[in-house]
Structure 1
């Protein structure tokens, strides 16, 4: 039966082809299939992204309940407004694992807000209140600058926002800076260490999105995307909730020649903002986050240490991640 069906279909196609030739022109359907649409994606400016990272670090540690946190939040909202986004700020009092009340602020910049087809891009903008992974125990209660862990993802997204202002993608884009991600349990804490102590701003946004009944086709979270020599594997929680998005992004990175950075294998798992966006909001979201299977700590080697500063930010890494994300969002129809 299958063979006969194939022969019959072949005959129909041949007859259709001869008919088209005798009429002297191609059908509109044939013309449509032959037409190749090429999207001209703007080039990501790594120097610009680097400056946005530095601007954040210059405020100092962006720990909730500090003046640096307030000032940096105002800067981020102002930059999104400058780049033409509709800006929404979510202010919330969030309770940390130790009972501290955090004056938190999620900052959302929306482009083409009337478009129901949307993509959400996330990064956290706060920094860790303690360098509790520092080799020197004297630093274990010292706030970190968070150049990579916090600053880099925000810097990449600010540059993407600047590019979107100049050339809009076809879909609506929401750039979402999440707060209170890094106020999770201190390593020395003797009480319960739960995953819910992390990503408080993401948990709040997932339950209370900035637009009622908000939805997005997918989300991409950027975390620690500016290190010196990172490798980005397909993170396991992302793979569980959004395997198709993982494959879409890693395929695009390979096409761009970034295969040595984006390793097309599943490795590691991170309790990060995307976990709660997937679990609570039901928006399939991946995490682009470094992983080194041979290192003692699989994230950046300066993770949660006082060395997470501008000396360890690489413009080329910002370019690799930023260009990959832009290629994905501009080619989405």
Structure 2
């Protein structure tokens, strides 16, 4: 009887543990189900077409303010946005360089579905660095800026083309802003926190292209085309637009792009999203290529060098960023 009682007790213990494990598993499945987002159908984004848009900008030459290449590229962007069905606004202004020079500048805004009350702001800078200050062998002259500048603009142009050709348009309004004079600063000599960078976004934030303009949220693209790019969650994005950041990275994960949109906190970067967050009071996220676990180097290897040319650009990276943005827009239409 004693041995029999021990056997029964052991059996009851095993059954109890199995039952608890089953309940725990069921609870975990429920939790996973609750956090998963139902993905609405969104059109496919072409990384190859975005690559062509990047290449077209680079072919103009360095897009440095007050240069002929800058003027020609700006005219091209305006014409292309109009061709893609956007309502275009050119915001011209005179920017003051940190050394006192006057720069002829223009922010270029393309609006999709301008009548919609709910609006999403997507942005990138379209000028390029006037000096290759990080180049190990030749620090003179302007750079092509294929990744640092042209990649983000290329993604946004392809996004506009994707929406234009889609049978079903997103239910939200979209404003594409190409900020000018972002990349001419010098942290060694400038006297304010922007150190001479982000002049176009500072101007727009204080002088919006539509009086009283606001957006539900914004997304900035900066250096989004390099091979093997990694986009951790930039610190100011977490500070000012935490919920939007989490939503975008969650969307990327569901689309299978976690190798790009890394679930890791990144450095705080002074970029065009700061004036939008702090002056315009629109929560804006910065999707920006940052090195992981490398205290010696913040950005991609060829940042601010003459090697930032089309050899850096990978259609797969452009596809990942563009597809995530398209999905985000269509999710916001629900």
Match of 2:27 in 1: none
Following superposition of structure 1 onto structure 2, how do residues 175-254 of structure 1 map, counting pairs within 5 Å? 175-185=176-186, 189-190=188-189, 192=191, 194-254=193-253
Question: Which residues of structure 1 form unaligned runs of 5+?
Answer: 1-35
Secondary structure of 2:257's partner? coil
Structure 1 range deviating more: 158-167 or 190-199: 190-199
Following superposition, the deviation at residue 234 of structure 1 comes to 0.5
Following superposition of structure 1 onto structure 2, how do residues 40-59 of structure 1 map, counting pairs within 5 Å? 40-59=41-60
TM-score by length of 2: 0.85
Secondary structure of 2:262's partner? strand
Query: Per the alignment, do residues 117 and 259 of structure 1 end up closer, same or farther by CA in structure 2, a change over 3 Å counting?
Result: same
Following superposition, the deviation at residue 294 of structure 1 comes to 3.4
Match of 2:11 in 1: none
Match of 2:164 in 1: 165
Paired with 2:136 and 2:79, the residues of 1 have a C-alpha distance of: 37
Match of 1:287 in 2: 286
Paired with 2:196 and 2:38, the residues of 1 have a C-alpha distance of: 46
Match of 2:111 in 1: 110
CA RMSD of aligned residues (A): 1.5
Match of 2:84 in 1: 83
Match of 2:74 in 1: 73
Paired with 2:190 and 2:270, the residues of 1 have a C-alpha distance of: 18
Following superposition of structure 1 onto structure 2, how do residues 308-319 of structure 1 map, counting pairs within 5 Å? 308-319=308-319
Q: Deviation per CA, 1:14-49: give whole Å up to 9, x if none.
A: xxxxxxxxxxxxxxxxxxxxxx98632110111100
Paired with 2:200 and 2:303, the residues of 1 have a C-alpha distance of: 20
Paired with 2:120 and 2:74, the residues of 1 have a C-alpha distance of: 23
Following superposition, the deviation at residue 293 of structure 1 comes to 3.1
Following superposition, the deviation at residue 67 of structure 1 comes to 0.3
Q: Deviation per CA, 1:298-329: give whole Å up to 9, x if none.
A: 21110000000001101100001110111101
CA contact (8 A) 1:268 1:293 kept: no
Number of aligned pairs? 294
Paired with 1:298 and 1:71, the residues of 2 have a C-alpha distance of: 32
Question: Which residues of structure 2 form unaligned runs of 5+?
Answer: 1-36
Match of 1:321 in 2: 321
Match of 2:307 in 1: 307
Paired with 1:219 and 1:301, the residues of 2 have a C-alpha distance of: 27
Secondary structure of 1:155's partner? helix
Paired with 1:144 and 1:124, the residues of 2 have a C-alpha distance of: 15
